[in-house]
Structure 1
Amino acid sequence: MDGPTDSTVIGIALPLTGRQKALGLEMRMAAEHVVAMINENGGVNEKRIDVRFFDDACSVVGGAASVRAARDAKPSMAAMFGHPCPSVANSIAPLYATERVFAFFTGTLATRGSIVVDVQPLQFRLTSDASLASIIADSLNSTPKDARVAIVRDRTAYATSLMQQVVGLLVKNGRAPVLIETFAGGDKDFRALSERARLAGITHLAFAGFPAEALLLFDDLGRVVPGLQIVAPDTLAVPEFTLAAGVSLTRVSVVLPLAAAAFPRVAEDKYKRLSVAGQLPSRNALTIVAAIEAWAGAAAHAKSFDAQAVSATLVQTAQPTVMGDLVFDVRGTALLPSVAVHRWLDGAWRPVGRSP
């Protein structure tokens, strides 16, 4: 059956060159697939969707060039999607607002802490439903009331910031850690630290440090505090740790992004073309698909491509997408289940007790 002959244009800005080129190319392929799917089903408001791609190179300079291109293409370009690098999206959001261009930021999911503070008109984004720190804190908060929690970290800025947030959330919930330990990067002797954990009766521990340090510490802890359970960020989900951890793997949980398989709609027939050689698409690819689907659904519901009308519809009604029915708040943010606690099962890190 012939599709619609009239068309409307959307822009998609992705890193098609530079260090994030592979990410951009995968997202481009996913975008092309979903647009083809929409057009095969009659388009939107009896119009075919045409796409113009822009290379933002995952840089602020490239992002700003995309804004200018979108500005110059008005009113024929109905919306701009992409900018998967959060730092770029945050930097150029005010430029899109100034030019009154409808922008839908998508891709690498930022945490709540990196969302643009100021509410910008005509802007939407997909972001994670919780920060890494809150997932770790929730994991510790869910332990039995008599559990005794320790925080162990190295002195890097990342580990310090992460664990300060975790401690604050634990204290807020009345579960202050009974032991907080720091160690110097490159430490090889953790016997004293392990002994302090034993004397304090520690049952659960949050760790932030490098894999090499984790291997040494967890080996000591395993001998001194055999029943100890450990939760850590995704820095430990690397072969350097998993191939050498041995029995420690049975005691460790890590916080990782949910894979595409966590979203049941990916298995539907209409999305099969997103898979390549039997491999499901990445979360980044799914976000560009979901963003375009949400916009198209809102435009159809509003019977208009007008940016104000589409924006109002996105906030007022849920839009069905590959990642579930998306609901946007007044800031234009859709919170997605994005990270969860994983355990090592059957040779892989698998999410525990979490589904969208």
Structure 2
Amino acid sequence: MCFVKRFGLYGLFFVLIGIGIFLISGCAGQQNKPAGESNVIKIGFAAPLSGSQAEMGTYLKNGALMAIDKINAKGGINGKKLELVAMDDKADPKEAVSVAQKFAADPSIVAVIGHLNSGASIPASAIYHQAGLVMVSPSSTNPKLTEQGFNNVFRVCTTDAMQGPFAAKFVKDKLKKDTAVVLDDKTAYGQGLADEFAKAFQADGGKILMREGINQGDKDFTALLTKIKSLNPQVIYFGGMYPEAGQMVKQMKSLGMNKIDFVSGDGVEDPAFIKIAGADANGTYASNVGPAIEKIPGAKAFIDEYTKKFGNPPGPYALFGYDAALAVITALEKAPKPDRADVLKVMPTVSFEGMLGKTSFDSKGDTTNKILTMFVVKDEKWQPVD
């Protein structure tokens, strides 16, 4: 039945007045809400979430989510819940700068966890610095990141200035090898790690037979490996990531290069490498800038919780994502206000016990935790070298 016929024009008039009062009071309530007041604290996250390195980026993100979910389950920070705002930098420096600009322009983002790759973190860090926005990298190992003089840049992993020499010493002292070919993927991470290995290896009496670069995304290394085979090195050291390393190791085996050890760094020590290389991965070595997860107190509970939450076991970088989030959470707990300025002010004083051990930061923003571990693939599984 028509409303006007039943109640008349006056009835309609009073209903409209009532609606108007309701809307005005609602708007007034919103306007009277104190500026900047929110029940949510937003933390940015940046890593490759698509493309060939997405698996490692997803481990980082999931690790960060575990730390955030844990604090939210306890009521958050001063009654405010934390929210992770994740963006995909595609492991590309230009995309990383674009992501950094978006986070910098959003005043609700109080800190950023990221990026995975040194080649992404280094250019992005300048954007965050201009915005007074703390960035905590879980996994960027190139020393240059914290040598720029920026007071807002921190990381929970140690650097290639330690990882490269660590691998060189392992090759010389444990594997007893004296000749090597050194390859890198021409990125800030890969080239920097390879440089540090080569420098330390030569200083210890090792001989570099060839130094060569490949491109990220390359899949066919047959011609390069055939050339390397003719040099008869004892070791190939590769500074780069698991997609290229997996293909390289498979092709080494198909060319009969079984007696040449393949050694790499933390960009390769990932389950995804074994998925690519399969049984050919066995015997591959790779260092990591943290402890073996099996040797960490409380690791079983972490693995079980991660597996239940995400449906698969954690890769090694889940630990780094977790601790990078803990660094930001600890700063937010210490900060007088959950804003950029106060987080930046307290960040140098942050200290906590996380999955990687005890973390605090030196004057450059580097972690004081310098644990390094060498792994080898046995039975198609990464295992720490005794």
Q: TM-score, normalised by structure 1?
A: 0.68
Alpha-carbon distance between aligned partners in 2 of 1:62 and 1:79, rounded to the nearest angstrom: 19
Deviation at 1:306, TM superposition (A): 4.6
1:290 counterpart = 2:318: no
Partner residue, 1:224: none
SS class of match (2:120): helix
The residue type paired with residue 326 of structure 2 is E
Determine which structure has the larger helix proportion and give its number: 2
The residue type paired with residue 207 of structure 1 is I
1:266 counterpart = 2:278: no
- Residue 205 of structure 2 is aligned with which of 176, 200, 210? 176
Partner residue, 2:364: 331
- Residue 128 of structure 1 is aligned with which of 148, 152, 158? 158
Contact 2:327-2:350 at 8 Å conserved across structures:
no
Alpha-carbon distance between aligned partners in 1 of 2:184 and 2:56, rounded to the nearest angstrom: 28
The residue type paired with residue 333 of structure 1 is D
* CA shift in 2, pair 1:13/1:58, >3 Å: farther
Alignment of 1:103-142 (within 5 A): 103-106=135-138, 109-113=139-143, 115-130=145-160, 132-142=163-173
Contact 2:43-2:112 at 8 Å conserved across structures:
yes
Alpha-carbon distance between aligned partners in 1 of 2:275 and 2:146, rounded to the nearest angstrom: 34
User: Structure 2: any 5+ residue segments left out of the alignment?
Assistant: 1-36, 212-222, 239-247
The residue type paired with residue 199 of structure 2 is G
Alpha-carbon distance between aligned partners in 1 of 2:373 and 2:328, rounded to the nearest angstrom: 27
* CA shift in 2, pair 1:278/1:72, >3 Å: closer
Alignment of 1:198-237 (within 5 A): 205-208=234-237, 210-211=248-249, 212-213=251-252, 232-233=263-264
Deviation at 1:124, TM superposition (A): 1.8
The farther-off stretch of 319-328 and 112-121 is 112-121
* CA shift in 2, pair 1:139/1:217, >3 Å: farther
SS class of match (1:255): strand
Contact 1:18-1:57 at 8 Å conserved across structures:
yes
Alpha-carbon distance between aligned partners in 2 of 1:189 and 1:307, rounded to the nearest angstrom: 51
1:12 counterpart = 2:44: yes
Partner residue, 2:121: 89
Deviations 1:159-202 (A, max 9, x none): 99877654532454xx313x654598344896x967xx9xxxxx
SS class of match (2:179): strand
Contact 2:44-2:84 at 8 Å conserved across structures:
yes
* CA shift in 2, pair 1:56/1:13, >3 Å: farther
Deviations 1:271-290 (A, max 9, x none): 74322477432233332221
The residue type paired with residue 350 of structure 1 is Q
Deviation at 1:59, TM superposition (A): 3.7
The residue type paired with residue 348 of structure 1 is K
* CA shift in 2, pair 1:326/1:311, >3 Å: farther
* CA shift in 2, pair 1:272/1:42, >3 Å: farther
1:299 counterpart = 2:332: yes
The residue type paired with residue 185 of structure 1 is L
Deviation at 1:291, TM superposition (A): 1.4
Deviations 1:46-92 (A, max 9, x none): 43223433444444454344334333432x43222233233222112
Alpha-carbon distance between aligned partners in 1 of 2:58 and 2:284, rounded to the nearest angstrom: 32
Q: CA RMSD in A?
A: 4.3
Task: Tell which structure's C-alpha radius of gyration is larger.
Answer: 2
* CA shift in 2, pair 1:231/1:52, >3 Å: closer
Partner residue, 2:224: 185
Alpha-carbon distance between aligned partners in 1 of 2:158 and 2:375, rounded to the nearest angstrom: 16
Contact 2:253-2:280 at 8 Å conserved across structures:
no
Deviation at 1:319, TM superposition (A): 1.4
Alpha-carbon distance between aligned partners in 1 of 2:305 and 2:61, rounded to the nearest angstrom: 13
Partner residue, 2:179: 151
Deviation at 1:113, TM superposition (A): 4.2
- Residue 351 of structure 2 is aligned with which of 318, 324, 341? 318
The farther-off stretch of 323-332 and 163-172 is 163-172
Deviations 1:257-283 (A, max 9, x none): 3664454333236x7432247743223
Deviation at 1:151, TM superposition (A): 1.0
Deviations 1:111-166 (A, max 9, x none): 3345353021222223334455312222145359xx6x521327888799877654
Partner residue, 1:34: 67
Deviation at 1:343, TM superposition (A): 3.6
* CA shift in 2, pair 1:293/1:15, >3 Å: closer
Alpha-carbon distance between aligned partners in 2 of 1:6 and 1:239, rounded to the nearest angstrom: 44
The residue type paired with residue 224 of structure 2 is G
Alpha-carbon distance between aligned partners in 2 of 1:280 and 1:133, rounded to the nearest angstrom: 28
User: Structure 1: any 5+ residue segments left out of the alignment?
Assistant: 198-204, 222-228
Deviation at 1:241, TM superposition (A): 7.3
The residue type paired with residue 180 of structure 2 is V
The residue type paired with residue 32 of structure 1 is L
SS class of match (2:43): strand
